[in-house]
Amino acid sequence: MDKLTERENATRHPLAAAPALAVQFFLVPLAVVAVTVLVYVGFRSLLTDARTPQDYLLEIQRGGSERRWPAAYELSRLMADPAVRADRTLAPALVQAFEASTGDPQVRRYLALAIGRLDPPLPADAIASLARALEEPDSETRISVIWALGSSGDPAVVPRLMPLFNAQGNDPGIRKMVVYALGALPGDAQLDTLRTALADEVPDVRWNAAVALARHGSREGVPVITQMLDRGYVEQAVKIAVRQDEDRDPIADVMISGLRAAASLKDQSLRPVVASLSQSDQSLKVREAALQALNAMG
């Protein structure tokens, strides 16, 4: 009878079970979520690298061989931050680290990229140090150095870069980067070299030359730009293998570069092909770039 009475009381007063239900159906799941968030934040704090450029430079100077080049790589990536690359106090330390890295090609190529990402104008000692490295035996290091000089904004480096285009034994990667750098630098002294590059046997070099001439306001590369806007032609010319897990489309990249060159020139002879790409190309990125080019063309 007592047990029956207890059941009847529980039935008559359902609110008496509310606290227990709250704990079971609300507070316990909430606690689980809170613990999960704390664990996630803890792991994120462990994984987040809050090191400064000075920390990476110290590791480049004092770390072992297996630690120096990853530190140089991370430093070059960190320089993509506008707030970091605007720090003018970094330039002397970068140049010093670059000079001290002789004989370590991996470190030197990433430090060259880091120097090139400093806000222009580059200090004179940085340009002098990079110019000396143009004689490096490692071609990948030379390519990084050429890119950095092209990013310097200093037209005085043009005479140092032009002879590299015709240097005996230069590989296509160096010619391609030389043309890119000459196109990025101000002045007209490099135009003859860029015109010569329009006839290079390597498509990448020709494309860079056409885009470079367009940046200088020259329409001499329009026939090559027309080829860059022909998807069938580009598909046959581009031989870069792309992994399935990579979000890259090298064919679209070439066409978008051509579209940007067409937009800068505002050449109306290119308008029909640009209009066609804006409507029917299979790449949405290419269509968007074509629409922007049309707007620029007026």
Regarding whether 229 and 136 lie in a shared domain, the answer is no
The amino acid occupying position 34 is A
Domain that holds residue 288: 221-238+248-298
**179's tokens:** 């043309």
147 shares a domain with 231:
no
- The answer to the question of residue 96 being in a domain is yes
- Which pLDDT belongs to residue 283? 96
Residues 145 and 231 in one domain: no
Instruction: Report yes or no on 281 lying in a domain.
Output: yes
Q: 136 in a domain, yes or no? A: yes
C-beta separation of 260 from 293 below 8 A: yes
In a domain, 102, yes or no: yes
Residue 166 lies in a domain: no
The helix (H) or strand (E) run that includes residue 41 is helix 28-47
Check whether residue 230 and residue 148 sit in a common domain. no
Predicted local distance difference test score (pLDDT) of residue 15? 42
Is residue 197 a contact partner of residue 165, using CB atoms and an 8 Å limit?
yes
Full-model pTM: 0.80
Q: Which residue among 123, 153, 183 closes a domain?
A: 153
Classify residue 24 by its DSSP letter.
Answer: I
Query: Could you write out the three-class secondary structure of the chain?
Result: CHHHHHHHHHHHCHHHHHHHHHHHHHHHHHHHHHHHHHHHHHHHHHHCCCCCHHHHHHHHHHCCHHHHHHHHHHHHHHCCCHHHHCCCCHHHHHHHHHHHCCCCHHHHHHHHHHHHCCCCCCCHHHHHHHHHHHHCCCHHHHHHHHHHHHCCCCHHHHHHHHHHHCCCCCCHHHHHHHHHHHHHCCCCCCHHHHHHHCCCCCHHHHHHHHHHHHHCCCCCCHHHHHHHCCHHHHHHHCCCCCCCCCCCCHHHHHHHHHHHHHHHHCCHHHHHHHHHHHHHCCCHHHHHHHHHHHHHHC
Last residue of a domain, one of 153, 178, 196: 153
Contact by Cβ (8 Å): 154, 128: no
Number of domains in the chain: 2
| 29 lies in some domain | no
State the pLDDT at residue 294: 97
Single out the residue in 124, 153, 182 at which a domain terminates: 153
Q: Is residue 290 in a domain?
A: yes
Residue 39: inside a domain: no
For each of the chain's 298 residues, which pLDDT tens digit applies?
Answer: 444 444 444 444 544 454 554 445 444 445 555 555 454 444 444 444 589 999 999 999 998 888 999 999 999 999 999 999 888 899 999 999 999 999 999 999 999 999 999 998 899 999 999 999 999 999 999 999 999 999 999 999 999 999 999 886 678 999 999 999 999 999 999 999 999 999 999 999 999 999 999 999 999 999 999 999 999 999 999 976 655 556 779 999 999 999 999 999 999 999 999 999 999 999 999 999 999 999 999 8
How high is the pLDDT of residue 241?
A: 61
